Structure 1
């Protein structure tokens, strides 16, 4: 993720997003933040993947995702907002581990024999799956094969 492609508000969101392993901070950050449209725009800016992939992760249709991007007065349902915050937190961690969004996304999309030959992206449509992949990133930081 290059912060040069993010606007000031988006950079602030990325800086403030809590670590995935701090569940209470994630919870309170999510319910107290009123940046719903900014979360969607930041997700779209940070992630170099298409709307179909993002909408699959969020369990919504691509059309709904596009409507979210356009609606400045957007108020997200709590579960969608939490999912977006967790994905952004995962990306923040993944970019720190791999050094770039491109390298992280390459790892995310590659089949991994330690994940039953599934790509890590397969796990990002659930909260527990995001936490699982974040745990794999932490394991990578400590030298495990993942």
Structure 2
């Protein structure tokens, strides 16, 4: 897996989910900040409540992050980078964020009849979801 480019960040890129070392060094060497958080909100149709759940913060904390220039915690940066990487992969597979959001919000047999979005609050859940996207790329009916 390579590096994924985001249209909003001409100088920035996010490593693919399967490459933990690249993600680690990306978080250490890039300024993962409010722009990344705002970009996630921009590309998804999910509410602040859902995004806050994914990031394991309260809605109030999420909104405060958006208003201030305070630094994000390392664990939050990592989770944010993983979510953005997942979104880029999902957009590549589904053609756009809207179709990917619909898939994330639909109950799925491979996710124990839960919606994939319910798995995005942990790194392992994001990786599992990303693996399902890769399976779809290779013709699996996910």
TM-score (structure 2 length as normaliser): 0.91
Residue matched to 1:3: none
- Runs of 4+ more than 3 Å apart: none
Corresponding position of 1:11 = 9
User: Equivalent residue for 2:22?
Assistant: 25
Aligned length: 137
Q: Where do 5+ consecutive residues of structure 1 fail to align?
A: 1-5
What is the match of residue 140 of structure 2? 144
What is the Cα deviation at residue 74 of structure 1?
A: 2.1
Residue in structure 2 matched with residue 40 of structure 1 by the alignment: 37
Please tell me whether residue 93 in structure 1 is matched to residue 84 in structure 2.
no
Structure 1, 17-26 or 136-145: larger mean CA deviation: 17-26
> Mapping of 1:46-57 within 5 angstroms?
46-57=43-54
Please give the per-residue CA displacement for 1:2-42, whole angstroms capped at 9, x wherever unaligned: xxxx9x7x3337x6111111111111111211141111111
TM-score, L = length of structure 1: 0.88
Question: Following TM superposition, by how much is the alpha carbon of 1:45 offset from its aligned partner in structure 2, in angstroms?
Answer: 1.1
Choose between structure 1 and 2: higher strand proportion: 2
**Distance (whole Å) between structure 2 residues aligned to residue 127 and residue 35 of structure 1:** 17
Which segment is superposed worse, 125-134 or 41-50?
A: 41-50
Distance in 2 separating the partners of 1:63 and 1:12: 30
- Higher RCO (CA-CA < 8 Å; seq separation 6+): 1
C-alpha separation in 2, matches of 1:49 and 1:87:
13
- Which residue of 127, 131, 135 corresponds with 2:131? 135
Unaligned 5+ runs, structure 2? 1-5
Greater share of helix: 1
